[in-house]
Amino acid sequence: MDIATPTFRPAAVDDVPALVRLIESAYRGDASRAGWTTEADILEGQRTDSEGVLEVMSKPGSRLVAVEVGGELVACCQLEHRGEHAYFGMFAVRPELQGAGLGKIIIAEAERFARDEWGVVEMHMTVISVREDLMAWYARRGYTRTGRMSPFPYGDERFGIPTRDDLQFELLTKKLA
């Protein structure tokens, strides 16, 4: 599989079941341990569901990007236009392809799109603050930790069942200009 030439397209409603499987496989359960972005040690249960994916797809100013290699869905990400900045989220790469450079290609294309198509000057994202490996990966891509925290939605099992009580989200930003 030649990951150097992925194709990007807006996700369609028909993609929802495959997108849910992809996102779940990248973050939860034993299958996620094949990659390095697993949250299986800090969260059990689901990462998303069909309703959550459809919500992202139908939200004004939001797009869910399907990434394919050889016509096969291998990754996805969410971009949301929020005035002067864009929000990057719901980022998932098939576990067995993680660490091969595909994520770098995807985030670069997301940044290019947000800057060139929407004219935004900054990208924002939130990451679970205890995910030091993920924070370091984003720092190598030019993202800055802001120290601005928001609470994890404890008690809302749509986002998973925490195995620890210190989870929160940290805002990361990057200037795109």
CATH 2.60.40.420 fits 7-175, yes or no: no
Residue 161 has pLDDT above 80, yes or no: yes
| % of the chain exceeding 70 in pLDDT | 99
Q: Which residues of 53-83 are buried (b: 16+ CB within 10 A; e: fewer)?
A: bbebbeeeebbbbbbebeeebbbbbbbbbee
Residue 2: pLDDT over 90? no
Given the DSSP bridges, would you call strands 7-10 and 72-82 parallel, antiparallel or unpaired? unpaired
Q: What is the pLDDT of residues 25-63, one digit of tens each?
A: 999 988 899 999 899 999 999 999 999 999 999 999 999
Distance from C-alpha of 170 to C-alpha of 168, rounded to nearest angstrom: 7
Q: How far is CA 34 from the centre of its chain?
A: 17
Give the Å distances, CA to CA, from 21 to 40, 139, 177.
Answer: 15, 28, 35
Residues 69, 96: Cα–Cα separation, whole Å = 14
Q: Are 168 and 150 in contact (CB under 8 A)?
A: yes
User: What is the reported pLDDT for 4?
Assistant: 78
Summarize pLDDT for 114-137 with one digit per residue, the tens: 999 999 999 999 999 999 999 999
How far apart CA 117 and CA 42 sit, in angstroms, is: 36
pTM, whole model, 2 decimals? 0.94
Distance separating alpha carbons of residues 131 and 107, to the nearest angstrom = 18
